[in-house]
Amino acid sequence: MKEMAVELGDRSYPIFIGDGLLSSKQIWSRLCRTGQIMVVSNETIAPLYLNQVMDALAPRKISTVVLSDGEKYKTLDAFNQVITQLLEKAYSRDCTLVALGGGVVGDITGFAAACYQRGVDYIQVPTTLLSQVDSAVGGKTAVNHMLGKNMIGVFYQPVAVIADTQVLSTLPDREMSAGLAEVIKYGLIRDPDFFCWLENNIERLLARDTTCLVHAIEQSCRNKSDIVSLDERESGIRAILNFGHTFGHAIETATSYTQFLHGEAIAIGMLMAADLSKRHGWLSAESVERVWKLLNRANLPIGLPTKLKAEELRAIMAIDKKARNAKLFLVLLKQIGEAFLTDQYREELLTDTLSEFILAGG
Amino acid sequence: MKEMAVELGDRSYPIFIGDGLLSSKQIWSRLCRTGQIMVVSNETIAPLYLNQVMDALAPRKISTVVLSDGEKYKTLDAFNQVITQLLEKAYSRDCTLVALGGGVVGDITGFAAACYQRGVDYIQVPTTLLSQVDSAVGGKTAVNHMLGKNMIGVFYQPVAVIADTQVLSTLPDREMSAGLAEVIKYGLIRDPDFFCWLENNIERLLARDTTCLVHAIEQSCRNKSDIVSLDERESGIRAILNFGHTFGHAIETATSYTQFLHGEAIAIGMLMAADLSKRHGWLSAESVERVWKLLNRANLPIGLPTKLKAEELRAIMAIDKKARNAKLFLVLLKQIGEAFLTDQYREELLTDTLSEFILAGG
């Protein structure tokens, strides 16, 4: 088992990474100092892993809430469902919520923990690669609003993250690849050595090699946690974590969230950002080629449906919440392992990039 | 005009206290660094003061949300109404919400500001004495749940508080007295000199003497802000701000929030706490008499309806959220100006106190 810390002063917390941690009574004992625990999960994950967690937590008093599975259920209603359950069971401020599931469960549970009686403890137990390397770390919580994703939420750090590689054995291949998109992102934005390591090990990761998985999750969490420690509330450097995301969100919106998984949209978005960087002479053609090859080997898509229009994507990007005031900022690359935030790009080159990817998908 | 600071490191903020501040273009210019502003108010306050604020903020881009007036509208729905308005008007992260109203408007607006895109600025413009000396300062935000008051919320500090004594001219007498209950509380829990000053000036305050009001609000905010600076998230000393509140909340619940204003219930609660302190020999009979006299002169009630039962009140107190685990903690008095948190009281004396006040109301 690997253990690392997210350094945030009095809000610091450990991340545990290893095989079979869900069932480790030792870890749960260390984390749950209180008697009242509520495990929040979803219909897909609960049948697979809820019993393991309950056994490891026994004989503590535990309630469970099982939410519907899917991004469309990441709503204020689901949040209120958790709160209502806590109140009906008379949970006090001294309770702990456990988020057992992917990013949706983690985001709802974190937000509920942040708001229940103005804040109770919560532990992230991410069950997808994507949430293990991304959403479970860093304290971003939220639910969606009809008019926008993640529009209602707060920054609220968990007391711990437990990333169990064993749960990835039941993860569908497509979701595994989608998770690898975010893993590759860390190499691209600030860790060239890790990018090289991924080039040497991507097939082992797809095959769920435990040692490789632990290393990849550890490096991802370390990179993310370094950035979060520097800028917890995303007022500066943390923005580079959005590499590929302004493009990716536009792709998800334009395809009504039906065609691509989040990680897949981000993969295309990262390649777009690399391509746009190249068009400005900031990134070499060889580097773009390396990005393309690695994403391709990870079984990630690289083109868009031809029915989309470049102007449509551009318009959606403009209303992305990362747009500050007038000009849209983008995270681009100077080289593999070095991202930067800029509004000094040329609009016509952005159009060229968008058009190229729509053609590539044809 | 008086200006003081709530010291909370990088979350510090000023409180402005004075006559006619609502209309001060100078103050608004200093506070509103961003172009997008949304004023949240209610049906009672908006007709009286919204135009003044809009004029002072002109020519900035401003939207308004006018909520229904009353504690029963302090709901997740009202919160969502503010969020929806922000999204429909495409407000970015760089916006400022202005809470123009009493505690309900302040609590909803603060919670919406905390959660909109994970946090935007907000300014408290409390229009009741109660909110000027209590809820507007300290960053407690919340909405109610059917199963409990203030159960959904977070700690989130405003960027400023503007307490305009002029708005108190339209405040009904009964609400004025209710606000004075919280003012008197600060004298009781940690400021004996202020308590003496109140004994000398209570009638002037009831008559809305501006100089006296400014002083009373300043001393109240200074006391509250000292405590909040020491314990922002209520893990220790901040609990003494709940003096009278465990009793008061039980009274409000037992009478279904129809018979007493919050401040009135707190007044009875404070007298109960003083009485219980006396029964343990912790507070002199003379001190209890002084508390009783001052509350009486402030036109605050001192007895309870005889149809209530002591056991009923005791049961409700037990589920108050300030109850930690098994034993109910109470804030009691060692002397006027010195409160302490304890679970070392005798249960039968608590019953005696509760019974006495029910008889007193007969």
Q: Do B87 and A116 touch (CB under 8 A)?
A: no
Is position A140 annotated as part of the catalytic site?
yes
Q: At what angle do helices A285-297 and A173-190 cross, to 10 degrees?
A: 160
A323 vs B contacts (CB less than 8 Å): 92
Closest CA to B114 of B62, B154, B150, B143: B154
ipTM of the complex: 0.92
Distance CA A12, CA A6 (A): 5
| pLDDT level of residue A35 (50, 70, 90 thresholds) | confident
Query: Is it true that domain B175-360 has CATH number 1.10.540.10?
Result: no
Which among A88, A118, A286, A347 is annotated as catalytic? A118
- In this prediction, the residues of chain B whose per-residue pLDDT falls under 70 are 320-326, 361-362
**What is the DSSP secondary-structure string of B88-122?**
HTT--SSEEEEEEESHHHHHHHHHHHHHBTT--EE
Predicted local distance difference test score (pLDDT) of residue B322: 47
Kindly report the pTM of this predicted structure: 0.94
Q: Do B154 and A153 touch (CB under 8 A)?
A: no
A84 vs B contacts (CB less than 8 Å): 145, 147
Judge whether residue A82 has pLDDT over 60: yes
Which among A74, A190, A222, A224 is annotated as catalytic? A224
A233-237, A266-270, B105-109, B192-196 — which is least confidently predicted? A233-237
The residue-averaged pLDDT of A135-157 equals 95
B76 vs A contacts (CB less than 8 Å): 76, 80
Is any Cβ of chain A less than 8 angstroms from the Cβ of B119?
Answer: yes
The residue-averaged pLDDT of A114-129 equals 97
CB A303 within 8 A of CB A360: yes
| pLDDT level of residue A246 (50, 70, 90 thresholds) | very high
Is any Cβ of chain A less than 8 angstroms from the Cβ of B33?
Answer: no
- CATH classification (class only), A174-360: mainly alpha
Q: Do A319 and B145 touch (CB under 8 A)?
A: no
Predicted local distance difference test score (pLDDT) of residue B323: 47
Query: Could you tell me the residue ranges of all domains in chain B?
Result: 2-169, 175-360
Predicted local distance difference test score (pLDDT) of residue B359: 78
Rounded to the nearest angstrom, the minimum Cα separation between A267 and chain B is: 24
Rounded to the nearest angstrom, the minimum Cα separation between B323 and chain A is: 8
- Cα–Cα distances in angstroms (integers) from residue B198 to residues A281, A335, B203, B219, B290, in the given order: 72, 68, 9, 11, 11
| pLDDT level of residue A323 (50, 70, 90 thresholds) | very low
Predicted local distance difference test score (pLDDT) of residue B222: 97
CB A137 within 8 A of CB A147: no
Which among A249, A252, A264, A279 is annotated as catalytic? A249
Distance CA B42, CA B332 (A): 36
- Cα–Cα distances in angstroms (integers) from residue B43 to residues B50, B66, B100, B101, B105, in the given order: 10, 6, 11, 10, 11
SS3 B144: strand
Predicted local distance difference test score (pLDDT) of residue A320: 58
Phi (first) and psi of residue B331, to 5 degrees: -95, 120
CATH number of B2-169: 3.40.50.1970
